[in-house]
Amino acid sequence: MPGRRNKPKPIVAVGEILMWLLFAALLAPAGAVGWAIGHYTGHQGGTRTVTVRAAAPSTTAAASGTTTATAPATTAAAAPSAAGKAIFIAAGCGACHTFKAAGTSAKVGPDLDTAPAKDAKTASMALDAFVKQSITDPNAFVSPGFPKGVMPTNFGSTLSATKLAALVSFITSGK
């Protein structure tokens, strides 16, 4: 009939409204969760790379007018210490050993603040040699009160000579 408007069927209108409500009810929480995951991922930790560089040498002018370069006393010790600390952490030493210089406090293995010097004396060895042997052959001398076979025996083959030397230096210096 001309001039007569088609009336929507009530069941279709209610169904369409329910579909839109369901769509909105599911989309809003999904969007909020997606935003939260995207917004907060990566800000709560994760992998962080830190590069440590030695301070540049300073120049000083002597009374005669010549210029000489002198490095601060802490620079020479800081680089090996930082490398040793990085190796200590990367190798997982802190999971078993207490060592103030590395900020660790585990009790599975000997306390590296006190045990190496005492045990090296007991073993009649130089401290550096004792610490190196304890890393590469941990069952050669086991600190009293600790069982054999707990410390991994593969550090001698997994650490390069340079890394091993830096780790030994870090442990023996305590800095």
Residue 133 has a pLDDT of 94
What tokens does 123 get?
Answer: 């073993």
Residue 73's pLDDT band, with cuts at 50, 70 and 90, is very low
Q: List pLDDT tens digits, range 105-115.
A: 888 899 999 98
List, in order of start, the domains of the chain with CATH numbers: 93-175 (1.10.760.10)
pTM: 0.56
23-29 long-range contacts (CB < 8 A, ≥24 apart) are none
Among 77, 89, 13, which residue's Cα sits nearest to residue 49? 89
Residue found by looking up tokens 């050669």 in the block: 140
- For residue 116, the 8-state DSSP code is H
The mean predicted confidence, pLDDT, of the chain is: 77
Q: List pLDDT tens digits, range 74-96.
A: 444 456 678 888 998 888 898 89
Residue 130's pLDDT band, with cuts at 50, 70 and 90, is very high
54: three-class secondary structure by DSSP: coil
Q: How far apart are CA 167 and CA 171, in angstroms?
A: 6
